[in-house]
Amino acid sequence: MSDDAPTRDHDATQRFLDSLPELAPDQEFRFACHPQVPCFNACCGDLNLMLTPFDVLRLRQALGESSAEFIRTRAHVALAPDTGLPLMRLRMRDDKRRSCPFVSPQGCTVYPHRPSACRTYPLGRATRPGEDGTVRERFFLVREGHCKGFGQDSTFTPATWLADQELAVYNASNDRTMRLMARIKDTGRPIDPRRANMAALALYQLDSFADFIRDTGLLERLDMAPGRAEAVLADEAARLEFAQDWLTLVLFGACPGLEVRR
């Protein structure tokens, strides 16, 4: 069942980031989060935590859940009004703190697979496509009143923090989704419901998308790099990357490295 809260949350997050002073890429800040910090786990409640397709993939693999089970029990789903693409928000516990379902007194129970927003904090990272095909990024430091992590001795810059939190693979996938969203926004109209359902399948239901690929013979109708077809069927991360390219091809008629076989 869908609701419009993810859309409101996404818009509110963007307004919040825009209100913060920008952090230079080489600007240092002090921060650490561990059980000895007095506010440990305090940020793991009352969250409106958006999940990217790669977040869902990693969490599903860690939990051993199908996409259908994960979406049914762990997510709120809506469509973004400006793109028509699905948005997913993590379903919190029904307690006074609206606690994250993965938090325990000892910390995060899915820590190696935690979502990109959790990894990035206390940074905010805003991105947009560059004219040369690169991704332009801006960083912000999110200082919340309850957080005692800024009083710790560890020093980082945005670049060293992203490396420390192993965000490279997350950002690479999330930036591909961002480019797709940006291209749809540039058209000035959201995609239609049929294509929205197609995007939901391809981006968030990778196990079912594999069945779709096999049942329709999709890979046999496309030209791509040698070995990619086998990787798409064998590995969900490769399948997500293919899904992002395939949706670009479907929506815009062209995608580098992926063509309809003539």
Whether residue 15 is found in the same domain as residue 133 = yes
pLDDT at 5 over 60: no
Range of the domain at 225: 180-260
Whether residue 163 is found in the same domain as residue 234 = no
Whether residue 141 is found in the same domain as residue 221 = no
Residue after which a domain boundary falls, among 139, 159, 177 = 177
Strand partners, 127: 137
Whether residue 198 is found in the same domain as residue 117 = no
Q: What is the pLDDT of residue 18?
A: 66
Residue 19 or 201, more confident = 201
Whether residue 78 is found in the same domain as residue 167 = yes
Whether residue 90 is found in the same domain as residue 214 = no
Residue after which a domain boundary falls, among 177, 202, 222 = 177
pLDDT at 178 over 90: yes
Identify the weakest region by mean pLDDT among 30-39, 40-49, 55-64, 85-94: 40-49
pLDDT at 11 over 70: no
Q: Contact, 206 vs 58, CB < 8 A?
A: no
pLDDT at 3 over 90: no
Q: What is the pLDDT of residue 1?
A: 38
4-7, long-range: CB < 8 A, 24+ apart: 4/78, 5/48, 5/76, 5/78, 5/89, 6/48, 6/50, 6/76, 6/77, 6/78, 6/80, 6/87, 6/88, 6/89, 7/78, 7/79, 7/80, 7/81, 7/87
pLDDT at 2 over 50: no
Mean pLDDT of the chain: 92
